[in-house]
Amino acid sequence: MTSRAPLTIALALVVVPGALALSGCSACGPPQSASAQDEVVVEADGGVVQRTVIVPVPVPAPEERPAPEPEAPATCYEVAANRTNLTEQQIALLCSGAWSSAPIQCYLDARARLTITDPQRIGLCRCADSTAPVDCYRRLQRSRALTDVQVESLCAPVIALGLLDNCRPAGGF
């Protein structure tokens, strides 16, 4: 059973400098004050008054990451031990901190679709929550301007998302 965190709705504020006022602010004095309509009036150098309207813009809440499956690292380890020739150390590196069996599925997909080494596949798929890193790698591999190391840096969840060794985001969970 997984528990879900409450949905968070994010808002961004767009500042529109020099916009027409939404309501008058004849009593606004220097240097700055705001009306009830989220209008900010600023007196700039030389006595020029600039009106700025702050407009709230809804932003979709980020997708919620499912809770980690407690048995996920062990399941990942067993599948890797049975379906690959990786060493125990390599399997532990791939599966440590896994939230699901996705890292080994990603590794197997990378083995089938990419011509990279096992250490590169492990680096690409550590902490993956799907096979998306493989798709990312294939798409960026077509660019002649990027090296394999650069492509891995852009596609590997650990690097791209700044995850810790236990696959949790830096700065808290």
pLDDT tens track for 76-85: 999 999 999 9
Average pLDDT over residues 118-147: 92
Q: Where does the pLDDT of residue 68 fall: very low under 50, low under 70, confident under 90, or very high at 90 and above?
A: confident
pTM reported for the whole predicted model: 0.61
Domain ranges of the chain: 11-59, 72-160
- Which of 32, 54, 55 lies closest to 43, judged by CA? 32
Residues 6+ apart with CB under 8 A from 29: none
Q: What pLDDT score was predicted for residue 165?
A: 83
Does residue 35 register a pLDDT over 50? Answer: no
DSSP state string for 34-91: E-TTSEEEEE-GGG-EEEEEEEEEEEPPPPPPPPPPTTHHHHHHHHHHHH----HHHH
